[in-house]
Chain A
Amino acid sequence: MKDTGLVKIDLIFEKIDVKELLIKAFKMSDEAIVQEVITSGLKGRGGAGFPTGLKWKFAAFEKEQEKYVVCNADEGEPGTFKDREILERVPEKVYAGMAIAGKAIGAKVGIIYLRDEYRYMLPELQSLLDEFHKSIKEIGYDFTLEYRLGSGAYICGEESALFESIEGKRGEPRNKPPFPTVNGVFGKPTVINNVETLVTALMVVKIGGAEYSKMGTPDSPGSKVFSVSGDTPNPGIYELEMGMTVQKFVDEFGDGDTKAVQVGGAAGFCVPRKRFADTIIGFEGVPTGGSMKLFNSTRSMYNVLHNYLDFFVEESCGQCTPCRVGCQQLLKGISLVKKGEIKATYLNDLSKLAETMRLASKCGLGQSVGNAFNSIVDNFREEIVY
């Protein structure tokens, strides 16, 4: 196990000459750009962690004339606010990352899907986008971006639901395959990446894939922006090298009384104190799209789990039965156990239900409810029951 310790990095928010970087990138061949991103080992920062270079390569391979780059700025995972911060501080880097992705795969159009909760930023973002369009034209490159807004649905962060929403429909996830690189928005080959992924890819082109991959661990190369909240004296945004243990994280951000850290939001995992030292934050341990929430000993983990289940009941799109009914049953189940109206062993049945949801649900929402449910119930059973 390699523990990198807690190392602060300044890559995402670093102010750079975007135009100069674009001029350099547009002189590279499409293949060379894709190869740099593959070499970097960058994995998607939106949560699922698919290798970004490979995604670009698949999309580049498609023969269609019309292709799209989509930026996922729906950021709905509880405890995540880094994409808002990135868009607020370095939007020009997001636009440039999209342009480079567009060049690499042969797309002339990009769409940024911004959650409605962030609409207040739109006037500023749009005027910066107008400037960006001007400057990219000066370089002599043909690429246009536009904003589309969400309307308060967490599920629209799931890529295929997001496409449906852009197409003017209910945000209900599609079956996969076909994958977005073959059949994405408007049925065309599409690269969809998280806001942070796009900025990271831009910086990979700047510093080189090999250099980037020197940071982090073999399974989780690079650095990542973390959104830190909950019981901590220092809530906020931190860019850190990947591969630290939860213990190192708690040493830095805890309030001295941390009993659990929820890594990855409501869809993520709860790590109890006894596992802090041997759990790596990253794809080899507990992955995260950035959400890091600390709980101290005054918190009831029952309330935490209840709040997460409320969230899922509310945000399940209702399209498939395991998720729609499963979320409701889990919520009802823990309330019954808490009230003593049913035996504590019922929690075992609920854990099995959560596993069934993982296998039988259509999309990542239903598939990941079991992460939080089982990791909280397994580690804090007495708090759920009594």
Chain B
Amino acid sequence: MYQLGNLVQELSDKYGRDRASLMPILQCIVKKHNYLTDEAMVEVAKELDLSAAEVYGTASFYSFLDTEERGRFVIRVCRTISCSMKGKEDIMQTLEDLLKIEVGDTTADKQFTLLETNCIGWCHKAPAMLINDMPYTELTEDKVIEIIKEYMQK
């Protein structure tokens, strides 16, 4: 759970209160707080004069608009064919061992969430993953360890 404050109002002032503003508003909340709480969605619904079910129905359609609690850093490992051919399983195993969680889980300190995703457009540099917005490519076990250690310092 997080404190929303005036965020929804500020975003609605910025993007507008018509239906087409819904996605940018939800996306900004996720960027700031990592996921959407029920409270956040109810608040957005009020501000945009929509039913909460409409907002939830829209959010739940999109895999990057998380409605479950997520860590500060969301890791999305590509599981599609090129990455799967080039050692995605080993990368996933390394991440699970490092973070001591399984895919789908969030670390107890709420720093990391480990997920899979479909092709992220780096197939020629597979295996690849995203951490929040940043792509990381041509991954090896050593490289993954280095990257995660860096994030642990942040």
Contacts and interface: CB of A to CB of B under 8 A. Distances in A.
Nearest to A303: B84
Interface in B18-59: 18-24, 26-27, 57-58
A125 to B, nearest CB: 13
A293 B121 contact: no
Contacts of A77: 119
Interface string A50-80: 0000000000000000000000000111111
Secondary structure of the A side of the interface?
Answer: mixed
Nearest to A120: B133
B124 A228 contact: yes
Given A293-B82, A304-B81, A308-B81, A170 B61 contact: yes
A81 interface: yes
Contacts of B24: 148-149
- Residue among A84, A168, A310 with the most chain B CB within 10 A? A168
Interface in A307-339: 307-308, 310-311, 314-315, 317
Instruction: Give the interface size class of chain A.
Output: 35 or more
A237 interface: yes
A119 interface: yes
A107 B121 CA distance: 30
Contacts of B135: 117, 120
Contact of B81 (A75, A83, A154, A293): A293
A171 B124 contact: no
A208 interface: no
A153 B62 contact: yes
Nearest to A166: B20
Interface string B60-88: 01111100000000000001111011000
A174 to B, nearest CB: 15
B20 A152 contact: no
A268 to B, nearest CB: 12
Nearest to A167: B20
In this complex, the member of A76, A148, A152, A171 whose beta carbon has the largest number of chain B beta carbons within 10 angstroms is: A152
A315 B82 contact: no
Contact of A165 (B18, B23, B117, B125): B23
A26 interface: no
B83 to A, nearest CB: 10
A331 to B, nearest CB: 14
A154 B124 contact: no
Interface string A147-180: 0111111100000000001111111100000000
A151 B57 contact: no
B66 to A, nearest CB: 10
B85 A299 contact: yes
A229 B23 contact: no
B139 interface: no
Given A168-B21, A168-B23, A307-B84, A78 B119 contact: yes
B44 to A, nearest CB: 11
A168 B63 contact: no
Interface string A95-112: 000000000000000000
Given A153-B61, A168-B20, A170-B58, A237 B124 contact: yes
Given A76-B118, A78-B119, A230-B82, A152 B124 contact: no
Given A76-B119, A80-B121, A168 B19 contact: yes
B8 to A, nearest CB: 15
A266 B80 CA distance: 10
Interface string B107-141: 00000000001111111111000100111000000
Contacts of A154: 118
Contact of B118 (A169, A304, A311): A311
Given A117-B117, A170-B57, A299-B85, 20 more contacts: A78-B80, A78-B81, A78-B118, A78-B119, A81-B124, A118-B121, A148-B24, A149-B24, A151-B26, A151-B64, A151-B65, A166-B20, A168-B20, A168-B22, A168-B58, A229-B124, A230-B85, A237-B124, A293-B82, A307-B84
27 contacts: A78-B123, A79-B119, A81-B121, A117-B117, A117-B135, A120-B133, A149-B27, A151-B23, A151-B26, A151-B64, A151-B65, A153-B61, A165-B23, A168-B18, A168-B20, A169-B19, A170-B61, A229-B123, A230-B85, A230-B123, A235-B123, A262-B81, A299-B85, A307-B84, A311-B80, A311-B118, A315-B118
